[in-house]
Structure formats: C-alpha cells, structure tokens
Copies of this chain bind each other. A is one copy, B any other.
Amino acid sequence: MSVEEEEKSFMNLNPLRNSPIITTEEENTMFNFEDYVAEKVNQVNDALDDAVPVNYPKTIYEAMKYSLMAGGKRIRPLLCIAACEAVGGHQSAAMPAACAVEMIHTMSLIQDDLPCMDNDDLRRGKPTNHKVCVCKHSLNPLAGDGLFVLAIEQMATATPGVAPNKVLAAVRELAKAGGVEGLVGGQAEDLRYTGSNQTVKLETLENIHLRKTAVLFEASVVMGAIFGGGSDEQVEKLRIFARKIGLLFQVVDDILDVTQSSEELGKTAGKDLAVDKTTYPKLLGLEKAMEFAEKLNGEATAQLTDFDRKKVAPLVALADYIARRHN
C-alpha cells in the first residue's frame, strides 16, 4: 500500500477493528474517520473564523487571523470535540474550548518561528508570520499574545448554560497549558539546551515535550470532557490518555523530522539535526523511538476501555492517526 493509500485508509489504523470481539454489525455502524475529520475540521474552521473578527486596530487582528487561518490539522480541536462526544456530550458544548486550544497552539507556533527562537520560514506549507509581516516585525509576538488572551476571554465568556465552576476549571486548564507548567516552561527549557553542548537526558527531553505538547493536548481533552458532562473518573482517565498521546505526537514529530521531506511536512525538515537538537531518534535511535511511539499509543488507548465503544471511536482513531501520520 502506498503512503497515500495508507493515509486515506484511516480505518486500517484502528486497532479495535482487528479485535475478535468486534462483530460485523458493530463494524458496519463504526464511523468513517475521514468523513468525521473533514466535517469537524470545517466546523472548527468556521468557528475560528467567527471567533476572530477584524476590528480596530486592523493590523493586529489581521496578523492574528493570518496565522490562525493558515491551515493546520486542527488535531487539538478535534481531540476536544471527540472527548466531549466520548462522554456523551454534543460537540457544540466543546466548540468554544476547541477554538481556544487552537488559538493557544497557533500562539505557540508564532513564537516558535520567531527570529529570536527557531527562526523558521515555513509553517503549515506557508511562509511564517514573521516572514509575511516583515515590515512590522514587532507585531508577531503581539499577535501571539492577542490569540492567547482571546482564547482565555472567549472561554470565560462564550459558555452559556455551563456552571461557572466548570468554566473556571477550564480556564485553569488553559492557563496551565499556556504557562510555565506548559508551553512557556517547555520552550524556555528547550531553548536552554538547543545548540549547547550539554547532554540532554531522556527524562529532561520527556519533561520538555510534556510541557511543550502534552499539556495542551491534556487541556483540549479535559475541557472537552468537562463541557461534555463527563464524570470526574472519566475526566481523569481522559487526562492520562491525552498526556500519553501528547508525548506520542512529539515523538512522532521527532521521527518525521529525520524521515520526511520539507514538502511532505509542510515545514522545514531536518531542522532538528541541523541545529543539533536532542530528539528521541537521537537519544534512542530511530527503531527504538518508533517502538516507544507504539508503546505510548497502547498505553493511551488502554485508558479508554471502560468508555462506550462507539462514542470513543473518534478518540481511538485520532490516537492512531497521531501515531502513524506522515506530516
């Protein structure tokens, strides 16, 4: 099977499909992941477009909107919605949170690409924010901040009918993901080692990835579960699931950086090697890194066994997609 065929055939990635306990009838009622993703991504894109108006001052709103609407797989919003549905909620309850996590993710991309950070030119197959707005360089960090704050503001506002304590819990999840325990701390620690001659231990690398990636996955899934009406027990199981696949996402990202081309990735490939960055393939070797990815995927989906099999299918498929994606 070609890479293209494999990518299109999402259902083959679902381990439950080969499970002997799934009957043909069940299999027939299982959703089409490709259609699911296409539908939800469209809805998320519409919601994001609505969420960022182009008011005065236009320059900053346009910079925010440029990066937010420049494509992207929308994995975090999809996880948020899928977690909401996994506990029996309707996706509309998760949509404000789904938008919020994508805004925070986009903020982190803008910052990562800045000249004082990774100084990257290509993101999501398009020129990075600081390459487009080169005449107004200083707008870049502001656009990132604007998106972050908008995420918090909309989260704290656009949740009619939800108990204030649940909204507050969601705000705390978002803040944790964006702050020193999350993106800020992860990026700071990452920068400390990049280009230095210090040996990075596996424990440190995992800590960086947990902060840079897994904590936002966690916020996405936990907020979705909270707004979907999940029990405390369900929320905690989904929290562990999300941390595992967050780490998985980063391990795969490290692997793809050495195995794929810039064209396939939609961003500069081989970047980690070029700046001598510590990655899982560098520390473990490519094969062991791939085994570790499989292990994380298994540990993640193991958290989902007590959930309704049909309702949780999108989450399972998303985990598999994260494990086996090619960009």
Contact = CB atoms under 8 A, between A and B. Distances in A.
Contacts of A57: 180, 185, 188-189, 192
Nearest to A184: B146
B59 A184 contact: no
Interface in A208-239: none
Given A149-B178, A150-B179, A156 B141 contact: no
B157 A172 contact: yes
B179 A146 contact: yes
Contact of A188 (B59, B116, B117, B189): B59
Contacts of A126: none
Contacts of A60: 180, 184-185, 188-189
Contacts of A157: 172
Contacts of A156: 168, 171-172, 175
A199 interface: no
Interface stretch (A89-97, A132-140, A250-258, A308-316): A132-140
Interface string A144-173: 111011101100110000011101100110
A141 B116 contact: yes
A152 B136 contact: no
A66 interface: no
A161 to B, nearest CB: 13
Interface residues of A, number: 48
Contacts of A189: 57, 59-60
Contact of A141 (B111, B172, B175, B179): B111
- Determine chain A's interface SS by DSSP, over half rule: helix
Contacts of A179: 145-146, 149-150, 153
Interface in A43-74: 55-57, 59-61, 63-64
B176 A146 contact: no
A241 to B, nearest CB: 23
Given A64-B180, A150-B179, 19 more contacts: A56-B185, A57-B189, A59-B192, A136-B191, A136-B192, A142-B187, A142-B188, A145-B145, A145-B148, A146-B179, A146-B180, A148-B149, A149-B178, A150-B175, A150-B180, A156-B171, A164-B165, A168-B168, A168-B171
